[in-house]
């Protein structure tokens, strides 16, 4: 018996910022993942977000240029527009 498994590639999107960092909850709102801060908090506390490949429960986690977060198989990369 031959089994073939296909793994879909993860989509990548950029989140452009003009400051040195952005908090994870704000990045979720800016990217459109969450509509409100309460939704962002719930997503984070339900362990649905990975930051740089690891689950993160910190709403205030600072994301800087080059960092990324993942939600529902989409990777959002933080890009500082000032560089």
Residue 29 φ/ψ, nearest 5 degrees? -70, -45
Per-residue pLDDT, 18: 96
Answer whether residue 57 is part of any domain: yes
Q: Supply the CATH number for residue 34's domain.
A: 3.10.290.10
- The pLDDT, as a whole number, for residue 47 is 96
Average pLDDT, the chain: 94
CA distance 27 to 17: 9
Residue 50 predicted with pLDDT over 80 = yes
Give the domain extent around 56.
Answer: 11-80
pTM of the predicted model as reported, rounded to 2 decimal places: 0.87
pLDDT of residue 82: 84
The pLDDT assigned to 83 comes to 67
Number of domains, the chain: 1
**Is 54 within the bounds of a domain?**
yes
- Residue 28: which residues within 8 A CB-CB, separation 6 or more? 34, 39, 40, 43, 44, 49, 69, 71
């Amino acid at each position: 018996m031959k089994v073939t498994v296909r793994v879909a590639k993860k989509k990548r999107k950029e989140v452009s910022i003009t400051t040195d960092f952005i908090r994870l909850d704000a990045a979720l709102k800016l990217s459109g993942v969450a509509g409100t801060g309460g939704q962002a908090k719930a997503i984070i506390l339900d362990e649905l977000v990975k930051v740089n490949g690891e689950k993160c429960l910190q709403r205030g986690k600072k994301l800087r240029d080059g960092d990324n977060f993942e939600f529902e198989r989409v990777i959002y990369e933080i890009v500082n527009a000032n560089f």
